[in-house]
Amino acid sequence: MKETADATVFKDHVLVKLEEASYVHALDSDMTLSLEEEMKVRELLTFVIIGGGPTGVELAGELTDFLTHEGSRQYGHLKEWISVHMFSIDLLAPFDQELQEYAARHLRKKQGVKLHLGTVVQSVEKDKIHLKQGDKSFTMPFGTLVWCAGIKPHPVVKDFGFEMNDRGTQILVDRTLKVKGEDDIYAVGDCCTVDGYWLPQTAQVAKQQGQYLAKQFNSLKDGQGQPFKFRSLGMMAYLGGFNAVMSRLPGLNSITGFLAFIGWRSVYWSLQLSLRNRFMLSTDWLRTMIFGRDLTRFGPPSRPQ
């Protein structure tokens, strides 16, 4: 789960799995399932999320919101077979332990997510995943799996031949964001890492780096000005059910619950770059609240014959 297009693909995929499971369920006129059919429906409706960071947690919250509301209304006969699993070493690691425990309780009790913490993914096949928890190894079949356990830059980043970090995944830059060993070449965002100054791969880091570099260029001090310094504006994650957590806010340690949900949405609303986008986002949220999420399935693009 990295780009906007991934969200559209994921939405279509979830709806396809619900349709496939509904078809299997409808094969019997008396609506009773054989053991083989039940296993097939369970597999189709098993949703697996790998990674317990903010992306994985927010995906789990949104997915369970959808399955609980729109999914239950349209596919109520499948409700008992649906399960959402999250596999991760930990949950919301950058957050304080109190917020981690709060998030775990909410996901388990309110959202119905089956958390498997302390679990390592050994390998993934087309329709099953191999896992290890302590000394125990096990395999789970699934219908949908989403990887949220970290991202790596596009392969083109390696093709430049620049100096890379220890893992060889990101371009190494100095504190002025200049690529190590190069002149007049800079890198920002997920594709780079600052030597000796680790930063999370988040939007606010990339945004501040871009703003810093623009100021350096405009003042003709590129590569010679003050070193880049990240100023955290806080961390947040949506948990589902109009519930969220916010941490390390300027002047405030943490917020949870509905108030955090309002703050979470307010931040994203304020970050929109135009009044038009803010209006569209507001009306989209209002429409979803009144009528529910859109279940239109776009499917693959058409191909001319």
- CA-wise closest residue to 65 among 103, 110, 101: 110
CA R_g for the chain: 22
What are the angstrom distances between the C-alpha of 165 and each of 65, 184, 196? 39, 19, 10
Range of the domain at 43: 4-151
DSSP 77-143: GGGGG-EEEEEESSSSTTS-HHHHHHHHHHHHHTS-EEEEETEEEEEE-SSEEEEEETTEEEEEE-S
In this structure, the answer to whether residues 146 and 161 fall within a common structural domain is no
Tell me the mean pLDDT in the region 250-274. Answer: 88
What are the angstrom distances between the C-alpha of 228 and each of 127, 213, 220, 267? 45, 9, 15, 23
pLDDT 10s digits, 11-65: 999 999 999 998 887 766 566 778 888 899 999 999 999 999 999 999 999 999 9
- Is residue 118 within 8 Å of 89, Cβ to Cβ? yes
pLDDT for the residue 63? 96
Asked whether the predicted pLDDT for residue 167 surpasses 60, the reply is yes
Query: Total domain count for the chain?
Result: 2
The last residue of one of the domains, among 151, 179, 204, is 151
Torsion sign across C-alpha atoms 219, 225, 226, 230: positive
The last residue of one of the domains, among 218, 249, 269, is 218
Asked whether the predicted pLDDT for residue 300 surpasses 80, the reply is no
User: In the β-sheet with 136-141, what is the strand arrangement from edge to edge?
Assistant: 119-124, 128-133, 136-141
pLDDT for the residue 40? 92
pLDDT 10s digits, 88-144: 999 998 888 999 999 999 999 999 999 999 999 999 998 999 999 988 999 999 999
Tell me the mean pLDDT in the region 171-181. Answer: 94
Asked whether the predicted pLDDT for residue 285 surpasses 90, the reply is yes
Measured distance CA(70)–CA(81) in Å, rounded: 16
Name the β-bridge partners of 45: none
What are the angstrom distances between the C-alpha of 30 and each of 21, 75, 262? 16, 17, 46
Averaging pLDDT over each range in 25-34, 61-70, 201-210, 213-222, which range is the top one? 61-70
Measured distance CA(291)–CA(142) in Å, rounded: 30
Q: Is residue 76 part of a domain?
A: yes
Asked whether the predicted pLDDT for residue 221 surpasses 80, the reply is no
Tell me the mean pLDDT in the region 229-243. Answer: 91
265 in helix, strand or coil? helix
Q: Is residue 229 part of a domain?
A: no
Q: Is residue 292 part of a domain?
A: no
In this structure, the answer to whether residues 112 and 167 fall within a common structural domain is no
The number of CA neighbours under 13 Å toward the Cβ of 256 is 11
Q: Is residue 190 part of a domain?
A: yes
Q: Is residue 11 part of a domain?
A: yes
Tell me the mean pLDDT in the region 247-273. Answer: 87
- CA-wise closest residue to 211 among 240, 188, 244, 193: 188
Measured distance CA(5)–CA(200) in Å, rounded: 23
Which of 24-28, 60-64, 189-193, 223-227 has the weakest average pLDDT? Answer: 24-28
The last residue of one of the domains, among 127, 151, 175, is 151
Asked whether the predicted pLDDT for residue 304 surpasses 90, the reply is no
- CA-wise closest residue to 254 among 102, 141, 49, 37: 102
In this structure, the answer to whether residues 133 and 167 fall within a common structural domain is no
Measured distance CA(54)–CA(94) in Å, rounded: 9
Asked whether the predicted pLDDT for residue 249 surpasses 80, the reply is no
Q: State the DSSP H helix or E strand holding residue 69, giving kind and residue range, or none if neither.
A: none
pLDDT for the residue 31? 64
Q: What pTM, to 2 d.p., does this model score?
A: 0.85
- Is residue 151 within 8 Å of 50, Cβ to Cβ? no
Q: Is residue 205 part of a domain?
A: yes
Q: Is residue 270 part of a domain?
A: no
Q: Is residue 283 part of a domain?
A: no
Q: How sure is the predictor about 222, in pLDDT bands with cuts at 50, 70 and 90?
A: low
